[in-house]
Chain A
């Protein structure tokens, strides 16, 4: 980021390459709409670019980046502008036939794969639902904790709360997930 601040355009490209996927995934899980997640992620990078000259490395770059992303996501959710564009995450995942070989398979041979696919998709649907049902701040905390693997101090700065408040927030969120996902948790326990 310091190179970007110094006017190095290539370094901005490197930042984009490194953080676009984590940002898009984080925002997608926050706002539940892919198109909107990409728009917001673009906005995050634009804000980083605009603020490059004022950037002071007082905190980790990821903390700053995800703070911008979290604020944008929370504002967007409250704003509700994109509500009519929302596409439910429940929409079935489309699987493209990779080649002609699949067509040649016998239905009996394909059946176990379909069944397995349906089971996995049902599990994923339950997990998505459980995350969606979390209050927005808890959802952001879980996503930053689980998928970005940020430490408690960083997440607390992003969500502008104390570290102990964050630990309580996370505990409540994982408790909710544990209850919501009880059938799957029980299955996991047996494995």
Chain B
């Protein structure tokens, strides 16, 4: 009966159990007293005031949650972040664009340079050039500077 008295006081017994307890209480004065006293105890426990969490409670919880490190699984190594994916896409596009444009427009030789190259033979046998003094060696130049 012990285990059922509290359930009876709480009103948590099934119908059959409740009837069984009531049948017992009708003949047992001690258990009737116990039931009344348990009810009184429950009433007394209601007298304790309820406290309210402090006004900063929520803020503190949110701050602690925000300070939590972001969890990353090993699979995250293979999953590019949006920024990296965007940068990689831009790089790829730029490479493709440069590749496409460079093949359409091959490097052109300036047309003005061609006559100069064609006249190389003329320049190589140009007389005034043969009259120029030979190139000065580095050592000789140093000596000349010292003499001066």
Contact = CB atoms under 8 A, between A and B. Distances in A.
Interface in A108-134: 120, 123-124, 127-128, 131
B42 interface: yes
Contact of A171 (B6, B48, B53, B57): B6
Specify the main secondary structure of chain A where it touches its partner: helix
Contacts of B2: 167-168, 171
* Interface bracket on B: 20 to 34
A55 to B, nearest CB: 14
B43 A50 contact: no
Of the listed residues B49, B50, B61, B64, the one surrounded by the most CB atoms of chain A closer than 10 A to its CB is B61
Interface of A: 12-13, 16-17, 20-21, 24-25, 28-29, 34, 38, 41-42, 45-46, 49-50, 53, 120, 123-124, 127-128, 131, 142, 145-147, 151-152, 164, 167-168, 170-171, 174, 177-178, 181, 184-185, 188-189
Interface of B: 2-3, 5-7, 10, 12, 34, 36-38, 40-45, 47-54, 57-58, 60-62, 64-65, 68, 71
25 contacts: A12-B65, A16-B61, A20-B61, A21-B52, A24-B53, A29-B48, A38-B53, A41-B57, A42-B57, A45-B64, A46-B61, A46-B64, A46-B65, A49-B68, A123-B44, A127-B48, A142-B45, A152-B7, A170-B6, A171-B5, A174-B41, A177-B45, A185-B40, A185-B44, A188-B40
